[in-house]
């Protein structure tokens, strides 16, 4: 895997616009989940959205943006499903690395994340913790892909109120690294805890074939 070179100023400005668009689409998704307007209005809005979808699709990439270096010289992934500011699917999670090389993120789940009534879907919590544990091993200098992830759901996770997620690398052995993390209330009450094994793939060190994604490698512009 190679990282794209730092973006130009023009590209950064366009990415900022894409980030604003993604935020707007998140607002749209929230509005769809909670709307109670009459059916005729739903049909009218759907027609407008179909037209907007066509406009955006007029010039299309083969695959989302991937890892690249930002203007600050740090790697970023603006299309990531969990952290990508330019991906409407993402919360987006803003992950901070502490001086101790652990990671922390403030969470704001929304009604769109509901599974059981008034509760965040367990798969959504798992997705957040997968990302956070992955960033914890990376922050400790041992990046890898998730091999296993196990979770213990202690209490229902509410949406609409501030929560905190933290994670830390616990140990490494060869290409394998382990991390632990949790989602908690601001007072520290743990709601979900996770342990994960992350493996640096053999192909990262040139010791194995690089697997082709389904349908071949996507072209980035």
Q: Is 144 or 191 the residue whose CB approaches ligand 3IX more closely? A: 144
* Closest CA relative to residue 183, chosen from 155, 203, 160: 155
Q: Does 69 bind ligand 3IX (CB under 6 A)?
A: no
Place of tokens 């993120």: 105
In the bound complex, what is the minimum distance in angstroms from residue 148's beta carbon to ligand 3IX?
4
Q: Does 135 bind ligand 3IX (CB under 6 A)?
A: yes
Segment near ligand 3IX (CB under 6 A); pick from 56-64, 96-104, 109-117, 142-150: 142-150
Of positions 22, 26, 105, 134, contacts ligand 3IX by CB under 6 A: 134
Q: 3-state DSSP call for residue 104?
A: strand
Q: Does 129 bind ligand 3IX (CB under 6 A)?
A: no
Q: Does 138 bind ligand 3IX (CB under 6 A)?
A: yes
H/E stretch holding 11 reads helix 9-34
Q: Cis omega before residue 3 (within 30°)?
A: no
d(CA 110, CA 144): 29
Q: Does 208 bind ligand 3IX (CB under 6 A)?
A: yes
d(CA 126, CA 128): 5
Q: Is 22 or 131 the residue whose CB approaches ligand 3IX more closely? A: 131
How far, in Å, are 12, 48, 84, 98, 191 from residue 81 at the CA level? 20, 26, 6, 23, 22
Q: Is 143 or 158 the residue whose CB approaches ligand 3IX more closely? A: 143
Helix spans in 79-198 (H):
122-139
Q: Is 67 or 153 the residue whose CB approaches ligand 3IX more closely? A: 67
Q: Does 88 bind ligand 3IX (CB under 6 A)?
A: no
* Closest CA relative to residue 84, chosen from 46, 127, 114: 127
Q: Does 146 bind ligand 3IX (CB under 6 A)?
A: yes
User: Under the rule (CB under 6 A), what is the footprint of ligand 3IX?
Assistant: 1, 67, 75, 130-131, 134-135, 138, 143, 145-148, 176, 197, 199, 201-202, 208
């Amino acid at each position: 895997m190679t990282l794209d070179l730092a973006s130009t100023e023009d590209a950064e400005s366009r990415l900022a616009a894409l980030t604003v668009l993604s935020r707007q689409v998140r607002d749209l998704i929230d509005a769809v989940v909670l709307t109670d307007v009459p059916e005729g209005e739903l049909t009218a809005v759907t027609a407008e959205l179909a037209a907007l979808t066509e406009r955006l699709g007029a010039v299309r990439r083969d695959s989302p943006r991937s890892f690249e270096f930002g203007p600050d010289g740090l790697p970023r992934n603006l299309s990531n499903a969990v952290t990508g500011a330019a991906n409407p699917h993402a919360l987006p999670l803003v992950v901070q690395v502490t001086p101790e090389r652990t990671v922390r993120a403030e969470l704001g789940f929304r009604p769109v994340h509901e599974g059981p009534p008034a509760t965040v879907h367990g798969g959504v919590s798992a997705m957040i913790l997968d990302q956070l544990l992955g960033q914890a091993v990376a922050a400790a200098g041992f990046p890898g892909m998730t091999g296993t992830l196990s979770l213990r759901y202690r209490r229902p996770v509410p949406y609409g109120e501030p929560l905190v997620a933290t994670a830390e690398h616990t140990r490494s052995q060869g290409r394998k690294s382990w991390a632990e993390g949790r989602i908690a209330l601001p007072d520290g009450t743990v709601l979900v805890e996770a342990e994960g094994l992350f493996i640096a793939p053999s192909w990262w060190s040139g010791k194995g074939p690089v697997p082709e994604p389904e349908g071949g490698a996507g072209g980035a512009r």
